Amino acid sequence: MSEGPKTDRRGALKVIAITGGVVGAGALAVPAAHFVVAPAAGGAGEGRWIKTVALDSLKEGEPKRVPLVADRRDAWTLEKQVELGAVWLLREGDAVKAWSVVCPHLGCAVDRSATGPGFYCPCHDSSFDPAGRRVSGPSPRDLDALATRVEDGVVAVEFQRFRQGTPDKTPMG
């Protein structure tokens, strides 16, 4: 008789405390989680067409590194006409091939090889042939080719980033 109501009351207090705690914490957790996750949630990105150099300035068989200049937004900052990245351009007749300088392995900048005709990444020693195909090292895929077109004698490149380290080329937002 004396035990019953006391345990009931204790149980009720327990339920109130736990429910209240969960509701209160949950109310805070939902916007908090949104706040943290939202900036990170980006879908697959669209490429941007960026004009680079004149077709005439490219020589057959000699890859040339050119900067990609456009507006860049980083959170609250908008930078007008800055270098977003760079591409290797290789002229083939009136067409141009383009590869991102970002190594498909882990994202360092790929330079021309100092010892051979192709490309080389200084971070983990991946090397690529002059056509961007991987030759040796840890890169899981060839250099990322970018779409190009020639507009009024000027080479435009579709600038895009891809997920690093994967065998297939997945565009990123």
Partner 1 sequence: MSKLGAWIDERTEWRTRARAWIDQPVIGGAPWASAICASVVACFGVLALTGVLLMIAYAPSPQTAWASVFYVEHVLSRGWIIRGLHFWAAQSLLVLAALHIAHGALAASYRKPREIAWWLTLAVLGLVVAEGITGGLLPWDQRGWWARVVEGNIVGLAPVIGGWLQAMLEGGPELGALGLTRMYALHVVVLPLIFVVVLLARRSITQRHGWVQGGTEVPHGPALARSTIVAVVVVFALFALTGWAHGAPLEGPADPLSDYPARPEWFLMPLYQLRKLFHGPSAEFMGTSLVPAIAAAYFALLPWVDRKGRPRSVVVYLPLVAVAAGTAALAGAAWNKDAHDKLYARARADADRVGAAAVQLAMQGVPPAGALEMVRNDPELRGRSLFAAHCASCHVLGDLGDPKKATASKLDKWGTTEWILAMIHDPDAPEFFGLGPYKGKMPSVDQRPKDKGADEPWTPMIKSDAEKAAVAAFLASQGDEPGDPPRATDAATLAQGEKIVSDRCTTCHLYKGDGDLEGSGIAPELAHYGSIAWTRSQVASPATDQTYRDQALDPAMKKHMPRFDKDLSPGDVDVVARWTRAHGRGQTLP
Considering only residues 60 through 119, tell me which ones interact with partner 1, judged by CB under 8 A.
Answer: 65-67, 74-77, 83, 85-86, 106-109, 111, 114
Residue 116 amino acid letter: G
Query: Which of residues 127 and 131 has its CB atom nearest to partner 1 in the complex?
Result: 127
Residue 4 within binding range of partner 1, rule CB under 8 A: no
- 56 contributes a contact to partner 1 by CB under 8 A: yes
100: helix, strand or coil: strand
- Regarding 173 and contact with partner 1 (CB under 8 A), the answer is yes
Interface with partner 1: number of residues (CB under 8 A): 42
Least distance from C-beta 5 to partner 1, angstroms?
A: 37
135 makes contact with partner 1 (CB under 8 A): no
Interacting residues of 34 by C-beta distance below 8 A, sequence separation 6+: none
Binders of partner 1 in range 16-35 (CB under 8 A): none
The half-sphere exposure of 29 on its side-chain side, counting CA atoms within 13 A, is 6
> Which residues, listed in sequence order, are joined to residue 134 by a DSSP beta bridge?
128
Angle (CA) 45-48-49 rounded to 5° is: 155
In contact, 101 and 90? CB cutoff 8 Å:
no
CA 164 to chain centroid, in Å, comes to 7
CA 142/CA 159 separation, integer angstroms = 17
Q: What contacts 37, CB < 8 A, 6 or more positions away?
A: none
Q: Min. distance of Cβ 120 from partner 1 in angstroms?
A: 8
Contact between 151 and partner 1 per CB under 8 A: no
Which range in 1-9, 16-24, 48-56, 127-135 contacts partner 1 by CB under 8 A? 48-56
Binding status of residue 123 toward partner 1 by CB under 8 A:
yes
> Residues in the site for partner 1, rule: CB under 8 A?
36-37, 39-42, 45, 53-54, 56-57, 65-67, 74-77, 83, 85-86, 106-109, 111, 114, 120, 122-125, 138, 140, 161, 163-167, 172-173
